Amino acid sequence: MSQDELRSLLSDRSAAGTPESRIVRVMSERGTLSAAKIATITGMARSTVSTALVGLRRSGIIVEMQNGDAGKSVGRPAVTLALNSEAGTCVGIHVGLEDIRVIVADVSHSVISEKKENLERDYTPARAAEVAKRMIDTSYAENSLRSSALLGVGISISGPVSPGGDVQRASMVPTWAGINIRQVFEPVLQRPIFAGNESNCAAIAEMMWGAAVGCEDFVLFKIDKGVGGAIVHRGQVMTGVAGGAGEFGHMTIDPDGDLCRCGNRGCLEIYASFVRPLAVADRLHGRKMSMDDVILLAKQGDVGSRRLIEDTAQIAGRGLGMIGAILNPPLIVIGGRMALAGSIILEPLIESYERHTLIKLRDQPEAMRTRITIGHFTENDSLMGAVGLVLRHHGRLG
């Protein structure tokens, strides 16, 4: 099977897809699986799976794994299958406020290369595409990868993205509002382009390989220099009719509050992001502080840094309590850089959630309790999710 064939398998958009494309997708999501397990997950007949696997193995897309504990089972041991990591590569791009980050991963989502390039503020989309192209070319050259093996490019944007790929207002990069991602990147990169909001990407990463593996329903809540999130229902990220679902940072918690960059007043983000606490930290320490600085100090026992994080958790928990009243999800994954504070942020956040939400954790038996946990991807969540976009085919444009 050629790269073109694999690319077409991954980009098969029909509701169910061919047996081959369904197998490739489920393998890229789940990692190693037996043929029986593939049949269970996809709901396809064993015979259909077997037939498709013959072709996929012959073409080298799927390989047999060495099964170390085969001796344990009676009878013929189940053969474990995996995607051939040499079968193709994916690129994930994050379009940030003052930088562009690019990751290259194989179809088994092992990271081959990660790069970051700082840019002037308000860089243009055309410049982003050109810089991304150069970064991708360099990554492929440095790692002796064939660029023909590039299956698709996932792009993560700090702001709502419509199902058609238009960046909406309230983006972290305001000059991009109204820009169509596909129209900008496709002519330059000449590969299938998949775009998504950064929090939706983060949710995909947590769902495919992180804190939400095996969970079909959860909420991702990001606390960073902005506040954002994503809602996953039955394994699908809810995008909303215009791409605006999961914009937790823009819930109006004080209609007469300060003006937000989105044009509304008193948005949760103003109070629950770490921008204001950072300004306080700068003043206290007489130098420019980063979130990592404050988190480190808090972990070392600095009471002021601890309190800044706790106060943020307190108000974030109030917002999260409202999300609980609306969604009552089984799982809430805390993402964003502030999640690196671990229990210092998690404990007051859970306490505040419990205080403000309707269905109290203490009233529920274990199975009906909302679990709140720290995400696994707090540093490169959007990039890994952008790779996941390519593999899962979420947010396909056009």
Told to check if 200 binds its own copies by CB under 8 A, we report no
Question: Angle at the Cα of 396 (from 395 to 398), degrees rounded to 5?
Answer: 125
Selected from 125, 154, 243, 388, the binder of its own copies by CB under 8 A is 243
Q: Which CB, 285 or 356, lies closer to its own copies?
A: 356
Which amino acid makes up residue 18? T
Told to check if 231 binds its own copies by CB under 8 A, we report yes
Quick one: which segment of 112-120, 126-134, 228-236, 343-351 binds its own copies (CB under 8 A)? 228-236
| In contact, 104 and 136? CB cutoff 8 Å | yes
Told to check if 140 binds its own copies by CB under 8 A, we report no
Told to check if 364 binds its own copies by CB under 8 A, we report yes
Q: Alpha-carbon distance 114 to 215, whole Å?
A: 28
Q: Which CB, 7 or 250, lies closer to its own copies?
A: 250
Q: Alpha-carbon distance 22 to 7, whole Å?
A: 13
Query: Smallest distance from the beta carbon of 254 to its own copies, in angstroms?
Result: 9
Q: Which CB, 32 or 364, lies closer to its own copies?
A: 364
- Two structure tokens written together for 257: 């509050």
Selected from 13, 72, 234, 287, the binder of its own copies by CB under 8 A is 234
Selected from 37, 115, 369, 376, the binder of its own copies by CB under 8 A is 369
Quick one: which segment of 88-96, 252-260, 300-308, 339-347 binds its own copies (CB under 8 A)? 252-260
Told to check if 41 binds its own copies by CB under 8 A, we report no
Question: Angle at the Cα of 151 (from 19 to 387), degrees rounded to 5?
Answer: 95
Angle 3-10/19-30 helices, nearest 10 degrees?
A: 80
CA atoms within 13 A on the CB side of 25: 22
Q: Could you give the C-alpha distances from 3 to 7, 8, 27, 130, 136, in angstroms and in order?
A: 6, 8, 17, 24, 18
Contact positions toward its own copies, by CB under 8 A?
160, 162-164, 168-170, 217, 231, 233-234, 236, 238-248, 250-253, 255, 262, 264, 318, 321-330, 355-360, 363-364, 368-370
